[in-house]
Structures are given as structure tokens and as C-alpha cells.
Structure 1
Amino acid sequence: MPSPRLLQPLAVPAGKRALDVLPALRRALDGAGPALLPIPEDAAPADALGVGTPVEDDPADPTALVIATSGSTGTPKGVLLSVSALRASAEATHAHLGGPGRWLLTMPAQHIAGIQVLVRSLVAGTEPLAVDTADGFRPDRFAEAAEALATAGPRYTAMVPTQLSRLLGDAGKGLAELRKFDAVLLGGAATPPALLRRAVDEGVRVVTTYGMSETAGGCVYDGVPLPGAQVRIDDGRILLSGPMLARGYRGRPDSPAFANGWFHTGDLGRWADGRLEVLGRADDVIITGGVNVAPLPVERIIAEQDGVREVCVLGVPDPEWGQAVVAAVVPADPGQPPSAEALRAEVRRLAGAAATPKDLVFLDELPLRGPGKPDRRLLAERFAR
């Protein structure tokens, strides 16, 4: 009887050095190496994930990666991704995009969106490159890496809306190089419609993605499920299934999130013209004065207004209303922010009084967590102060 496979940490450097993990990742995808827990190079693995202990496994389909995800709760969960799930995701992506190509890594590779860029490269047999992010994501560094990626075949990259916004705002060589990519996968956070329209107008081939670590990354592209992926709406909640589905959570064999072969997301959604429309997290719904307010539609209204670059809408405790709707806005020009009252008036006109932010503040940047999602917990603390 073979010895049980143990979970081992995979220290992931930042920037260009992230490519150093490729040999270990290749062995994991071949089923020859240990199951790997990607973590930042300077971080210690969470004790709760059981590093050094036997991993939930299947000899016929080994667990290749355990992706740590805590969401907004701070409690780590380990998503068990098998070799077949990772390969199915990579192959479905290439099938949707029109074939394998070379990939440019722009995001931290300890997160699923980043490490999938490397997985897709290994599955395709192509050599990836990475952007130098030693001093943060910069358009000039992106341009340098994109130029070095020059190839006769397709070129792909993946990024979050904040990175796309910086490249569009720079309007220099970084944007010129971005236009040359055959596809720019955009995920990690909801994409403001105005940002998406601007990217299209600038000639950027954006593909919006929806998925999470539990589905080995994006499994719905531009609202359409990838080959093999399945989507169901149950009482407003989005459920996902398919060959790219994780086998479950580390140490939680009976998690209801994976009941009956479907991953029960915490997201609300609906079908619109045959495409999946994500309405936001169910947990983020604000109950103010007995009225349910979904933040995403309010964010879309504010993001459409002149002078707004980014926005996050959330609920904070309020003694009168139970929760109050508040908004943090990043202006396009910090020196000339739009009128807060004009933004509130537009929300009131289009979404009603209950959805109108009772407090609205301007920030230089939104605090982020993970690969690029607004950190609502930190923002709530800021409003509390």
C-alpha cells in the first residue's frame, strides 16, 4: 500500500520570480510530487490547513493543489483541487479562447487566478512570463514584460479591474501592448460597466470571468459557461458544477457547500438574454429600514457617473435603520472629485431612497484583499471610525 501523500507548502515569490515554482507545479500536475499549498514567500502556512499531514486524495486522480481561501471571515479553508480539475479548467479555457497560447502573469501566483496562468502554460506546453511587481503593478513594467512575450501564436493574460483601470488611465505603452493580446481575462471582482466599455473602445479584447478557487478559477466567460461547466440558479443563488469542480474542503468532508455534486456559491444571480448575470454576494445584501438593498446595482449607478474611477457600496450598523447604506468612491481626479450630493441624487433617482448612500466618502484607493476584491471589512471599520 503506497504511503499517504502529505501536504507541503509552496513558497511563491512575487513578480518575475514567481516562475521559480514551475518545476514543483509541473510535478504536482503530473501526480508525481506532493500536494502543494501555495503561500506568499514571506508567509507561514495556516496551521488549520494541516501542512505535513496526509491530504485528502485519490490515487487515480491525485490532489495537486490546496488553495487557501478565507473570504471575508478570516477563517482559512483549503480548497482541494485535483489534477483532473486543474487540467479540465485549463483545457476549457483554451477551447473557449480558440487554442493554447503564451501567458503573461500579472497577479500573485498564490491565488487561483494567478496560479492558473501557470497551470494553463504547463498544460499548453508554452513558456509563461511574469510582470515585475516589486514596486506594485505599473504600466511601464507591464509593457516591458508584454514586449518580451512576443510570439507568433496567441497571447493571453489575466488581471483584475484595478490593473486594467491603471493601464487605461496611463494611455501609454502599457495600453498599446495590452491591445496586442488576443484575450485579457478580467475577474477577481465585479467589473464596472463603464470600465468595460472604455476597454472595448480602446481596442482591448476583454473577457469577463466568473468563478472561484472552488471551481479551479473562472468557469463562466462573458456570462457563458465554459465547455463542461454547468450553472444553475436555485432560489436566487448561483450553483456551479463540472469537471473543474474541487473535491471539497480540507478536513471538511461533509461541507454542504459541495452537496450533490454542485458548489453552492454565496452569490446571487439570474439569467439575462441567455447569459449569467452576477448580482453580488448574498451576504453583502444590506437590510436598511426593512428594505433589502443589493450593493452591486448601486455600485454600477455610481460607477457610471463622470469623475468616478472605482466604488464600493456596503452596509454598516445603524441604530435607526438597522444598517445604513454607505459608499467609498475613488475619483478619477483626486483633485476634483465629483459632487457627493449629485452621486447620491442619481442613486435616489434610479434605485430609490432606500438604496441612496447615507454616507459617501472619497478615497485615494480602495483597500483590497486577495487578488483584487475590495476589503469590505476594512471599509466598514473606516466608516465606523
Structure 2
Amino acid sequence: MRLERVEAADPRDVLRAVRGAVLGAGPAIALGGGDLPFEVPAGTALVVTTSGSTGVPKSVALSRSALTASAMATAARIGEGHWLLPLSGGTIAGIQVMVRALVAGRDPAILAGRFSAPAFAHAASGMRSTVGGERIPTFTSLVPAQLLTLVDAAEEAPPVAQALASFEAILVGGQRLPDVLRERALALGARLVRTYGSTETSGGCVYDGAPLDDVRVEVVDGELRIAGPHLADGYLGDPDRTAAAFVVDASGMRWYRTGDAGSVADGRVRVTGRIDNVIVSGGVNVSLDRVEAIVREVPGLADAVLVPAPHPRWGEVPVIVTASRVEALGAARAAVERELGAPGRPDRVVRVATIPRLASGKPDRRALRARVI
């Protein structure tokens, strides 16, 4: 099957391509960077190139059946209706808003351009429609940083509050939703659904801790694993990485190894953090190892250790811990942005008398994180 690259800058261009790839006879589409082949296996609808747990780009191949299975499972859980897309069309979360809308027989409303509370409120107000005298439910999907922007505005601007309260459900994913933000949104009448998933699972597959229909979650050696019809086929052109991430058990069940630590009790999934040294900042995977390597090249920060810290807007951010007294935060932030982009920029510097170390001589990251939080 032919693979066609689509630029994600305009979500309307992505929507046209997704319609053909998922519902029609159009070519498979590729979003994101990477050197990809011109042909992909039959049944492939989408290839999303994204950063993984190592921060190294990976190209996730998703089939039509996986994407539609995920969309139909969402409809079974929260209902069908009219969707608003305020997310980038280049992410699996944005793609799935499109797929859910198309499977339901409607194009999504699109919030194009820079995200803002007034623009969101305006787009939401234009979605009021009925069929046979019955109001069509509306749905949308946000990342926590967007929700924070809306909640801050809604507490002063009634139209934004009305917009938040108008949706039957607002899916919130991409990073941890702070409890304080959730409570503020609920107080405004927003009906939130916390989602958990990844590109490899066709987006969110666990809603408010409960797996969607036909989704199975288990814990093996402290790591969450997920099975179901929504799993990606693997990483295009990378059989070794595919074999490591997608494993088959003795019964023949195929599982995705998430790299997340967590638990499953009484059918509820709880995620406690990454097993590797990666954080999700503003919905973007950031490898702390890569940030640390760059920061240590900045004069005066050769001993720097990067640890994660919670942030009210971005979920988590990198923080520099150092025994140096050199004022180099600005230089470190600039260096990281040049190499990795804005989400990787260290938030601040925490100074200690000495860097605690393990018996191996490596920094005691757990002790340092405790100093930061």
C-alpha cells in the first residue's frame, strides 16, 4: 500500500487524508518526521512518528481496524455525537477525535490556529444542533494545559464557563491531570474523563481508570501491559524494537509493554510513573537523559543532574540539581531548546552542597528528586 506524507500544520488537510485512509480507498498517511518507505503493509492507515521512552523517534504503524476499534469503544463508553478538535492533527489524540467523528458520520468542528479560551468558547457555541428535536451531544478532547487555560478564563468569563459545561464529556489525557485542576473544572460544570493510553494503543484506552471494552490491562514485573484490538502493528522498519515492545504470551495474546509503572486492582488501573527516565511535559515526551547530556555541556554545570518535578500547567518539568554556584539557567534553557525544543527546557535550578551518590558512583536520583518536590 502506498504511503503519503501529510503536513499536520492545518488539521483540515489531515482530516481529508484521514477520511480516505480510514474510511475510503485512499493511501496510508504519514505524520511527523522520519525517513519512511513509500510502501507499507496492506491494512495500514496511519504512521505516526513520535518520540518514545528513549527520546529517539519511532514510527508507529496503525491499521484501519485498530483505529476504528478504538473509536467505537469510545462511543460505547461515552456515547456518540459531534466532536470539537482543539488539538494538533499530528498527534494520536487529534487523529482519534477525527476518527471518532467520521465513524459517527460527522465531520468534527475544528479550532484552527492558536488555542485560546475565547476561540474555544466561540467554536463550542457553534456546535449546538438537533436531530428530530433532540439535541446532539457534543464532545471534545484536551490536554491539561489547555484545560487550565480554559478554567482560568472561565472563572472570570461566563461564556467560557458555559462552553466548558456544554460538552457531554471532555476527554483529558497526554499527561497527568492535577487533582486541583480537576476539582476547579468540575466546579464549573465540566464533565471530565481522564484517559490513559499512547500512540501504540491508538490513543486513550483506559477511561477514569476503567479499560474500554475488549481492552485488557495487566501488570508484569511492575510494568503495565495492554492488550486489545486497538494495538498498533508495530514500529515501521524496526523489527527489533517492535519485538521488544509487543510481546505474545503463552496463550497467544499479544501485549504492548507500556514502560509505565502501575497497578490493577478490582478492575481499576492506576499509573504511578515511568519506569524509564522520561517525563511527559505539556503532552510531549522528554528524555531527561538527553536533557542532562546537553546541560552538562554548559560551562559550570558539568555535575548537573536532571530530575522531574510536578508543574501546575505542564504536568512535569525538568529541574537541574547542581552543587555549582554558576548562574547558568538561561544558557542551559537556550541550549536545550536548540537541541530538543521548548518542552525540554529546565524549569529551574536547585543547588545542593554535594550531589548524593549510590555505591556505584552514580547520582542518587531518588534522593535528589525528594529535594526538588
Report the TM range for the smaller structure's normalisation. 0.7 to 0.9
> Paired residue for 1:88, among 49, 69, 72?
69
**Secondary structure in 1 matching 2:40:** coil
Aligned match of 2:203: 217
Q: Superposed, which structure 2 residues align to 1:148-187 within 5 Å?
A: 148-151=126-129, 152-171=135-154, 172=157, 173-187=159-173
SS of aligned partner of 2:68 = helix
Task: Provide TM-score, normalisation by structure 2.
Answer: 0.73
Work out which of the residue numbers 6, 9, 23 in structure 1 matches 2:5: 9
After the TM superposition, which residues 1-385 of structure 1 pair with which residues of structure 2 at under 5 Å, given as runs?
5-14=1-10, 18-30=11-23, 32-39=25-32, 45-47=33-35, 49-50=36-37, 53-57=38-42, 62-71=43-52, 73-97=54-78, 99-133=79-113, 136-151=114-129, 152-171=135-154, 172=157, 173-254=159-240, 255=242, 256-260=244-248, 261-272=254-265, 274-284=267-277, 323=305, 325=307, 327=309, 329=311, 377-379=344-346, 383=349
Contact 1:63-1:81 at 8 Å conserved across structures: yes
Please tell me whether the aligned partners of residues 320 and 346 of structure 2 are also in contact (alpha carbons under 8 angstroms).
Answer: no
Distance in 2 between residues matched to 1:357 and 1:28, nearest whole Å:
44
Q: Cα deviations across residues 186-223 of structure 1 (Å, max 9, x unaligned)?
A: 00111111111221222110000000110100000000
* 1:258-316 alpha-carbon deviations (Å, 9 max, x no partner): 1111110111111355411111111138xxxxxxxxx99xx9xxxxxxxxxxxx9x796
Between the aligned partners of 2:18 and 2:111, the Cα distance in structure 1 is 19
Equivalent residue of 1:55, what SS?
Answer: coil
Name the count of aligned residue pairs.
306
Per the alignment, do residues 327 and 245 of structure 1 end up closer, same or farther by CA in structure 2, a change over 3 Å counting?
closer
Deviation of 1:153 after TM superposition, in Å, equals 1.1
Q: Distance in 2 between matches of 1:185 and 1:82?
A: 23
Q: Distance in 2 between matches of 1:198 and 1:100?
A: 26
Distance in 1 (CA, whole Å) between partners of 2:120 and 2:306 is 40
Q: Quick one: structure 1 residues 102 and 36, their matched pair in 2 at CA, closer, same or farther if it must change by over 3 Å?
A: same
Say which SS state the counterpart of residue 7 (structure 2) adopts.
Answer: strand
The gaps in structure 1 that reach 5 residues or longer are 40-44, 286-294, 300-311, 332-355, 368-373
Measure how far apart 1:56 and its partner are: 2.7
Work out whether residues 138 and 169 of structure 2, in 8 Å CA contact, stay in contact via their aligned partners in 1.
yes
The structural deviation recorded for 1:174 is 1.8
C-alpha RMSD of the superposition = 3.5
Change (3 A) 1:81 1:330: closer
Instruction: Report the secondary structure of 1:188's partner residue.
Output: coil
**Normalised by the size of structure 1, how large is the TM-score?**
0.71
Seen in structure 2, the aligned counterparts of structure 1 residues 253 and 195 have a Cα distance that, compared at 3 Å, is: same
Unaligned regions of 5+ residues in structure 2, if any?
Answer: 130-134, 249-253, 314-318, 323-328, 335-340, 352-373
2:140–2:170: 8 Å Cα contact kept in structure 1? yes
Q: CA deviation at 1:384?
A: 9.7
Percent of aligned pairs sharing the same letter = 43
